[in-house]
Amino acid sequence: MNTFSSRVFRRLVFLAAGLMAISGRGAEPAAAAPQAELVAPGVWRIRFGQPEQFTPTYFRSAAMDVAGLQALAPNAPLPLDLAKVTFQATARGCSLLLPMDNQERLYGFGLNTKIFDASNPGRRMVIEPTDAPENDLGQSHAPVPFYVSTRGYGVFVDTARFASFYTGNLAPAQDVVETDAGKISTSTAELYRAREPRMKTMVVEVPAAKGVEVYVFAGPAMLDAVQRYNLFAGGGALPPLWGLGVHYRGYAPYGAADSLGLAAKFRADHIPCDVWGVEPGWQTRTYPCTFVWDTNKFPDPDAFLKQMREMGYRMNFWEHAFTHSSSPIHDALKPWSGNYRVWGGLVPDFATPEARKIFLKQNGAVLFSRGVEGVKLDECDYQPESATPWSFPVVSSFPSGLDGEQMHSLFGLLYQQTMLTPYRDQGVRTWSLVRNSHALASPLPFVVYSDSYDHRCYVRGLCNAGFSGLLWTPEVRDANSVEDFYRRVETVIFSPNAVINAWFLKNPPWYQVNTDKNKRDEFMPERDAVTAGIRDLLQLRMSFIPYLYTAFNEYRTTGKPPIRALVLDWPGDAKVRPIDDQFMFGDSVMVAPMFTGQKKRAVYLPAGDWYDFWTHAKLVGGRTIEATNGVQQIPLFVKGGTLLPLAAPVEYIKDDTGFNLTVYLVGDQPADFTLYEDDGVSSAYASGKQNTVRLHADGEKHSAERTGGYQGAERFKITGWQPF
Ligand code: GAL
């Protein structure tokens, strides 16, 4: 499945003559010289030793997008000097040494919220899932054994082991290390300087495996390598249009009546909201789960869903996979589960078709047959660093043959794939949530979320997610102050899933940001003003939907992440390399979130003209400016020379909602902008039912040219053109 079958590219193009297997004491005999095989344009596979069967490519969720890879740049050269690559297998596992230079910077390794440039300083990045991502070990909700380099290449180590990547801090004995011969050092700084490796090497340590396959992605720029990785995974996920609207997750104890009441209040208050999330309360038991409706709280699930839909809501339901003994599927699932329980529940082995089928039968009966539009897959990560960890141990075994370590890496991916099946089968899209993911996740329409709640770390997560084919939401719950609440909402509306996760708040947080008071129905004196301010911010999100949808279509077709750290767009500008608190949102808008207590912040504007989104003032780039935006206004900057289509906000998106767009002409001679349009809900786009609307402005003359095979209701109508 992971071999590109075209005759042209199937040939072996690189014989790695210089690739040596170094055998140490106790090591296995050196394997035959490995080869780099071109598997698609700009993508090579190198096989070392005897790789394991159960890896992310073995369980890939989509076929590689060969046409997309071909379209990128068909003749990119292999960006790695194979003569400098070495491999070793020992009883403990295997290791790989890959060349680095002292200047290059490395990014990626998944959804880190603490680390950004992973090579400065050289360190160990552990690819192990955790529910506590605010650590500096590399662990996160979505650890990914993939990195990209400022030298313009990417490396993916295809393993489900808890691999460690040493990003230039180890000194292999084969390297000659020069000493400060003849010099007598006395200061601590001088003495310790000798500890720094003179020649950087990437060392990858893969436990347990006796070999591994490595995929190398060509540049020439970092962004090219990221795009190739995403296309290799199958291309980016395309959300349904409603998925980009506002998501609200209601109070967990609420039943049907309370949920309906609050949902109706949102409509009366004109709070934009597309998706209503039902938290644990809907099941008879949830830790572990039964996947059975609690009819005390939801006496008539069909009637509840019908009434929510009549108000225009799409429905999303919380669950986790651990299955309670009173669940109707418990006994059938038992032979297809791991040999440890979590919270007393079975751990389904989603690597087996049997477990998937049994699990889907029950979820189908209660959720999917009722047309539920999305799910929230909780608790599929783990807690490795705790003295009292929850979840199954790494020594677990599963009927598929996976062990606990492999299952921890793959659990989120396999759970997502399982729950995606009914949507794919029905040809409809979802935009769901998950708390654990891993490699090759780009095609999966799931956004990763977390219980951790550091706003600064959440923003770093947004910058990092785009390096590794991940989507991340800096979800909003309660807040320390009204200011904190505004600042968090300002960030989440510029993310892939604008979710207010009020699962422990009885009332919307814009009534009361403090959890205890909120539960006691004690509302803030400024409640009405905050409601209006939050409504404005959510409307801002709604106005960006057509623009963001277009960015997602580019993710799907070219692998370009819709949200990107600046280093991906300005690879030649060394100043952007450490910036982890500003990001691109689509191609024209740069976001620079502010944090509680900040009266001002530094914003780096890369070279070129920029325009302040709020004042429309022109700003010359290539310098750092100071943003002093007040608490209800996030600093936003629009690239000069662009067309920015913004929609009149709607409160929610029906299947036939048409957006009225004003196209803003930003700067002189704006380049064309091509909007993407389709039915917004189904997978019919895959068979050509999609349009492009090419926006063009030349002085006073404007045009919007629609072409393509989508004949349905116009989703994006251009109703005006305006100078910015
Ligand atoms: C947590 C999850 C929260 C919420 C809660 C409900 O594990 O991260 O978002 O869903 O469970 O019990």
Q: What is the DSSP string of 571-631?
A: TT-GGGTT--S-EEETTTEEE----TT-S-EEEEE-SSEEEETTT--EEESSEEEEE---T
Q: Which residue, judged by its Cα, is nearest atom 9 of ligand 1?
A: 451
Whether 567 shows a pLDDT value over 60: the answer reads yes
| Domains assigned to the chain | 18-233 (2.60.40.1760), 248-529 (3.20.20.80), 562-640 (2.60.40.1180), 644-723 (2.60.40.1180)
Residue 378 CA, ligand 1 centroid: distance in Å? 7
Whether 386 shows a pLDDT value over 80: the answer reads yes
Per-residue DSSP letters for 485-501?
A: HHHHHHHHTTSSSEEEE
- Strand, helix or coil for residue 423: helix
CA 11 to the chain's CA centroid: 34
The binding-site residues of ligand 1, defined as CB within 6 angstroms of any ligand atom, are 252, 279-280, 318, 378-379, 451, 501, 503
Residue 347 CA, ligand 1 centroid: distance in Å? 18
Q: Residues 479-529: pLDDT tens digits?
A: 999 999 999 999 999 999 999 999 999 999 999 999 999 999 999 999 999
Residue 322 CA, ligand 1 centroid: distance in Å? 14
Q: Residues 417-449: pLDDT tens digits?
A: 999 999 999 999 999 999 999 999 999 999 999
Q: Which residues pair with residue 88 across a beta bridge? A: 95
- Nearest residue to 347 (alpha-carbon basis) of 296, 416, 393, 314: 393
- Supply angle C-alpha 643, 648, 649, rounded to 5: 120
pLDDT recorded at residue 174: 73
Q: Residues 687-722: pLDDT tens digits?
A: 999 999 999 999 889 999 999 999 998 999 999 999
Out of 318, 433, 450, 458, mutate this one to test ligand 1's pocket (max ligand atoms within 8 Å of CB): namely 318
Whole-number percent of the chain with pLDDT over 90 = 89
593 Cβ contact list (under 8 Å, min separation 6): 455, 459, 487, 490, 491, 494, 581, 634, 635
Whether 15 shows a pLDDT value over 50: the answer reads no
Whole-number percent of the chain with pLDDT over 70 = 92
Q: Which residue, judged by its Cα, is nearest atom 3 of ligand 1?
A: 451
Q: Whole-angstrom Cα distance, residue 244 to residue 548?
A: 8
Please give the torsion angle defined by the CA atoms of residues 72, 145, 461 and 556, in that order, rounded to the nearest 10 degrees: 30
Whether 1 shows a pLDDT value over 50: the answer reads no
Out of 278, 279, 289, mutate this one to test ligand 1's pocket (max ligand atoms within 8 Å of CB): namely 279
Distances (CA, A) of 148 to 222, 469, 567: 6, 12, 11
Q: Which atom of ligand 1 is nearest the CA belonging to 252?
A: 6
User: What pTM was estimated for this model as a whole?
Assistant: 0.94
- Strand, helix or coil for residue 27: coil
Q: Would you state the structure tokens that stand for residue 139, as one six-digit string?
A: 């662990």
pLDDT, average across residues 470-474: 98
Q: How do strand 275-278 and strand 246-249 relate by DSSP bridges? A: parallel
pLDDT recorded at residue 425: 97
**49: confidence class by pLDDT, cuts 50, 70, 90:** very high
pLDDT recorded at residue 426: 97
Rounded to the nearest integer, the mean pLDDT of the chain is 93
pLDDT recorded at residue 182: 58
Whether 266 shows a pLDDT value over 90: the answer reads yes
Q: Whole-angstrom Cα distance, residue 455 to residue 637?
A: 21
Residue 326 CA, ligand 1 centroid: distance in Å? 22
In the chain, what are the helix, strand and coil shares in percent, each to the nearest 5? 25, 25, 50
pLDDT, average across residues 32-57: 91
**184: confidence class by pLDDT, cuts 50, 70, 90:** low
**Contact status, residue 461 vs residue 112, Cβ threshold 8 Å:** yes
Biggest CA pair distance of the chain: 85
Residue 707 CA, ligand 1 centroid: distance in Å? 44
pLDDT, average across residues 105-110: 98
Q: Which residue, judged by its Cα, is nearest atom 12 of ligand 1?
A: 280
Place of tokens 């911010």: 537
- Supply angle C-alpha 367, 370, 372, rounded to 5: 60
Whether 159 shows a pLDDT value over 90: the answer reads yes
Q: Which residue, judged by its Cα, is nearest atom 5 of ligand 1?
A: 503
Whether 7 shows a pLDDT value over 60: the answer reads no
pLDDT, average across residues 245-262: 98
Residue 411 CA, ligand 1 centroid: distance in Å? 17
Q: Which atom of ligand 1 is nearest the CA belonging to 379?
A: 7
Q: Which residue, judged by its Cα, is nearest atom 8 of ligand 1?
A: 451
pLDDT recorded at residue 6: 41
Q: Whole-angstrom Cα distance, residue 116 to residue 112?
A: 7
Q: Which atom of ligand 1 is nearest the CA belonging to 501?
A: 9
Q: Which atom of ligand 1 is nearest the CA belonging to 475?
A: 9
**10: confidence class by pLDDT, cuts 50, 70, 90:** very low
Q: Which residue, judged by its Cα, is nearest atom 11 of ligand 1?
A: 378
Distances (CA, A) of 528 to 74, 523, 532: 57, 10, 6
176 membership: H or E segment, kind and range: none
pLDDT recorded at residue 186: 66
72 or 74: which leads in pLDDT: 72
- Supply angle C-alpha 524, 527, 529, rounded to 5: 135
Residue 298 CA, ligand 1 centroid: distance in Å? 20
